[in-house]
Structure 1
Amino acid sequence: MEITKIKGNTYYIKGGTNTGLYIFEDKTGLIIDPGLKGIRIKKIVEALEAENIDLKHIINTHEHNDHYGACNNFKNHFKGLEILSSIEAKMYIENPELFSKYIMGGKCNVLFNDYFRENVDDDIYIDKTIKEGFAYINNVEFQIIELPGHTPGSIGVLTKDKVIFVGDILVSDKLLRKYDFLFIYDIEKYLVSLEKLKIIDFEYLILGHGKEIISKDDTNVLIEKHKQAIQKYLNQVIDLLHEPMTLEKVLKDIINNNKLSYNYKEYHYLKSSLVSLISYLVDKDEIKHRLEDGELLYYTKRK
């Protein structure tokens, strides 16, 4: 397992979910987003021990299990390790069934839950919550930036080397071209977070998923592509709703028209994101609804 230097004391470890690493002068370490449990974690531990690094801290950028799932693997190996997250992320990390319930819109079932049970340790606890501002860890300053939208509790972590780890607020250009129907909890807050990211003083950005180290200029280009992807689907929803339509019919047309792939779990992710798009348009007074023959129908107000 290769530890890749970015700048100064800031490194990262590539994976399905990238893991950030900051190595302090005393050879203790902080990781950002440990990822899912499994063989990769054993390899990371071996790589850290080969460099005589004693892991002392974990920061989770947000409350999706592919980012926090391996927390206990590290905590069981490195004694005295402290796990941190935002207060919103803490609620979901310590109560993972809440995520399933909000995606499903009610009690979940084994078809959805088995995926999470297989990839996440039980009973992960957050030792300390962090909020926007400066956090001092082992006498080193880190800037915590609230970047909600993808999830309620999403944060970015900026090291003193001007390297920022942003979780899933952005995806790589390659992934965006392939999967441009973004998984977003709150469209309004997400768009505000994208604009906020533009004005942060950093040199390099590390995505949660993607192999490249991204410059500030390339980040700004990627932000615009994300905004275009959101607008693409907002426009599609508005166009479809020239005729009154149920949520499920809108989702069916979006899946088919854009050739989106899905399984049982992914269908509910797509549906959740569509609800976010519709809620955004309702709040903007772009669409209305009516109840008819046992159905909830949405339709556009535009002529």
Structure 2
Amino acid sequence: MKRGIDVNLEKIKGHSYYIKGGTNSGVYVFKDKYALIIDPGLSNSRGNRIIKLFEKEGIRIKYIVNTHEHSDHYGASKVLLNHYTGAKCLASRDAKVFIDNAYLFSMYVYGGKSNKFFDDFFKNRGEILNVEEILEEGEVKLNNEKFIVVDLKGHSLGSVGIITEDKVLYLGDSLFNESILDKYNFPFLLDISAQINTLDKINSLEFDYCVIAHGKPLLDREETLDLVYKNKMVIDKYLNQLREFLTIPYTREDLLKDIIEYNDLKLNYKEYYFSSSTLASMISYLIENDEIDYELENGKLYYYMK
């Protein structure tokens, strides 16, 4: 029988902690031993391991915050809600739409009704979930303690970050660690303009430490700002590649083909469509900035630099 990976509660500062995993989870433990958990992870098995850990520590979950609408972050939420009576699930208004209706994510990435090739990659996500409370940008009081919610859309429509009173910033996927940038070199981004604004916003936030969802969990402020710069450079790299390619007319499919080949990207079915979605977002960015035009010829749509 396959044994689950043990989880541990790692202290950062004050009442702020994290749990390492495929998705790194944030934890804030209140004085009364209730807890707020951020991004519990993908699967029911991950949720059950968290329950076991918290029972050992004498902690009960009161709030589950999902930084955005991707199932590797919120999938384990339902098993926690079933176990902890009265616990509440929180997310942004935009994230709620996709969390409450999980099938929408596959549809928007694929560009139509999804299929088993794509959906098989999400078969381990947890049960159907409903977000009960909406997080708005600004200060929020939970269990009589203050947290700051930061709008960080870009990677997704509903991305937010959470800052605790310990000045620990939980970023979700709003910043990609170097190991993730190496592995998934063409990052999954919904809105390029918004992501650039988010990276600038992270630079201006007051925090001492930050927790990122994938890869090395904990960074100090200096490491975080260095990573912001590297994330910007990756976006710039691909935008500049598109500008070079589009000196001649290109279809979107041929653009994606050349990006994959030029950067030696190794993709599966899901990652191909994630990359296709990012490319669409980058094309939209260039259109917004009045850099490219299009032409429809012989049943094909071509983009090119103005």
**Range into which the TM-score falls when normalised by the shorter chain:** over 0.9
CA displacement, residues 5-62 of structure 1 (integer Å, 9 cap, x when unaligned)? 0000000100000011110000111100011114332221111001110111100000
CA distance in structure 2 between the aligned counterparts of 1:174 and 1:65, rounded to whole angstroms:
21
Let me know the Cα RMSD of the aligned residues. 1.0
Q: Is the CA contact 2:79–2:127 (under 8 Å) kept in the aligned structure 1?
A: no
CA distance in structure 2 between the aligned counterparts of 1:195 and 1:14, rounded to whole angstroms:
27
Please say if 1:190 is aligned against 2:192: no
The residue aligned with 1:159 is: 164
CA distance in structure 2 between the aligned counterparts of 1:24 and 1:137, rounded to whole angstroms:
10
CA distance in structure 2 between the aligned counterparts of 1:182 and 1:122, rounded to whole angstroms:
27
2:61 to 55, 58, 64: 55
Give the secondary structure class of the aligned counterpart of 2:302. Answer: strand
The residue aligned with 1:84 is: 90
- Aligned partner letter, 1:11: Y
1:278 to 275, 283, 288: 283
CA displacement, residues 234-270 of structure 1 (integer Å, 9 cap, x when unaligned)? 0111111111110000000000010101111111000
Please say if 1:255 is aligned against 2:260: yes
The residue aligned with 1:18 is: 24
Give the CA deviation at 1:210: 1.7
CA displacement, residues 131-169 of structure 1 (integer Å, 9 cap, x when unaligned)? 101110000000000000000100000000000101001
TM-score (norm 1): 0.97
CA distance in structure 2 between the aligned counterparts of 1:148 and 1:121, rounded to whole angstroms:
24
CA distance in structure 1 between the aligned counterparts of 2:81 and 2:124, rounded to whole angstroms:
16
CA distance in structure 1 between the aligned counterparts of 2:272 and 2:119, rounded to whole angstroms:
14
TM-score (norm 2): 0.96
2:115 to 109, 124, 136: 109
Q: Is the CA contact 2:9–2:18 (under 8 Å) kept in the aligned structure 1?
A: yes
- Aligned partner letter, 1:122: E
Give the secondary structure class of the aligned counterpart of 1:176. Answer: helix
CA displacement, residues 195-237 of structure 1 (integer Å, 9 cap, x when unaligned)? 0111100000000102241111111111111111001000111
Give the secondary structure class of the aligned counterpart of 2:198. Answer: helix
CA distance in structure 2 between the aligned counterparts of 1:147 and 1:273, rounded to whole angstroms:
17
CA displacement, residues 71-124 of structure 1 (integer Å, 9 cap, x when unaligned)? 1110111111100000000000001111111111111112112322x2223320
- Aligned partner letter, 1:265: K
Q: Do the aligned partners of residues 214 and 153 (structure 1) sit closer, same or farther apart at CA in structure 2, a change above 3 Å counting?
A: same
Question: Quick check: 208-217 or 38-47, which moved more?
Answer: 38-47
Give the CA deviation at 1:66: 0.2
The residue aligned with 2:4 is: none
Q: Is the CA contact 2:207–2:221 (under 8 Å) kept in the aligned structure 1?
A: yes
The percent identity for this pair of structures is 46
Q: Do the aligned partners of residues 122 and 51 (structure 1) sit closer, same or farther apart at CA in structure 2, a change above 3 Å counting?
A: closer
CA distance in structure 1 between the aligned counterparts of 2:245 and 2:17, rounded to whole angstroms:
46
Please say if 1:205 is aligned against 2:216: no
1:289 to 294, 297, 305: 294
Give the secondary structure class of the aligned counterpart of 2:153. Answer: coil
The residue aligned with 1:223 is: 228
CA distance in structure 1 between the aligned counterparts of 2:146 and 2:91, rounded to whole angstroms:
16
2:80 to 74, 93, 101: 74
- Aligned partner letter, 1:4: E
CA distance in structure 1 between the aligned counterparts of 2:153 and 2:190, rounded to whole angstroms:
9
Q: Is the CA contact 2:40–2:46 (under 8 Å) kept in the aligned structure 1?
A: no
CA distance in structure 2 between the aligned counterparts of 1:50 and 1:33, rounded to whole angstroms:
20
